[in-house]
Amino acid sequence: MSTAGTIYASNRRDELIAAAASCFDRDGFGAASIRNIAAEAGMQTASIYYHFESKDALLLAVHEQGLRHITAATSQAIEGVEPGWDKVLAACTAHLQTLLGGDPIYKAIMRPLPVTLEVRQQIVDMRERYENIFRDLVADLELPDATDRRYLRLMLLGAMNWSFMWFQGGESDIDSLASSIVANLRNSLELGT
C-alpha cells in the first residue's frame, strides 16, 4: 500500500479477478479458460500464475471479492434501521441492487458449483456467512408461530437470486422488484398467529 510497486501489483490482481469473473459468468467455470482470462486482462497466460496458483484459486478469489462487497453493501444499507420488515426491505433492496447492478462477478458466484471442485466447501461457507445477515433479520420479525423462519429466509434469497435468470431492467425496476417481493410476504405474515 505504501509503494507504487505494491499498488500496481494489487491493481493487476484485481483486474485479473474482474476478468475471471466476466469469463466465469459468460462461459461457466468449466468452460472458462485461463487463456481467455489472461487475454481479457491484457496478460499472457503464464503471468496469471504469479498472482494465483491455479484456476481453482482464482475462483476462490472471485468469491471472496464478490461476497466481501455484497456483505459491505447490505450491512451498510441496514445500519441504524429499526428491526422489522422495513429492515428486511432495506437489505433486499441492497442485495438486488448489488446483484443486478451490472458487475458480472455476482452472476459468477450466485450459481451452482461443480461437485468435484475442491474448494467447494470453502465457497459454500463464505456464502452462508453472508446469508447470516438475512437469518438475523428474519429472527427479529414478529411472525405467526407456525412460520418456519429458515424456509422464509431461503424463500426470500431464492426469489432474489433466481432473478438472474430473467431480470432485464434498470435501477428503478430493481427497487420495485425488491418492494414487490417483500410486500408479498409482509402483508400476510404481519397479521400474527
Partner DNA sequence: GTCTATATGCTGATAGAC
Partner DNA sequence: GTCTATCAGCATATAGAC
Q: Which chain residues interact with a copy of itself by CB under 8 A?
A: 26-32, 107, 111-112, 114-116, 144, 146-148, 151-152, 154-166, 176-177, 180-181, 183-191
Q: What's the min distance (Å) between Cβ of 113 and DNA? A: 16
Q: Work out whether the CA dihedral 26, 29, 30, 36 comes out positive or negative.
A: positive
Q: What is the phi/psi pair of residue 83, to 5°? A: -55, 140
Q: What's the min distance (Å) between Cβ of 36 and DNA? A: 6
Q: 162 by DSSP, 3-state: which?
A: helix
Between CA 52 and CA 139 the distance in angstroms is: 39
Q: Which does 49 bind (CB under 5 to 8 A by kind): a copy of itself, DNA, none?
A: DNA
Q: Closer to a copy of itself by CB, 50 or 151: give it.
A: 151
Q: Which does 161 bind (CB under 5 to 8 A by kind): DNA, a copy of itself, none?
A: a copy of itself
Total count of residues recorded for the chain: 193
Q: Closer to a copy of itself by CB, 11 or 180: give it.
A: 180
For the chain, percent helix, then strand, then coil, each to nearest 5?
Answer: 75, 0, 25
Q: Which does 8 bind (CB under 5 to 8 A by kind): a copy of itself, DNA, none?
A: DNA
100 and 176 Cβ atoms separated by less than 8 Å = no
Q: Closer to DNA by CB, 34 or 189: give it.
A: 34
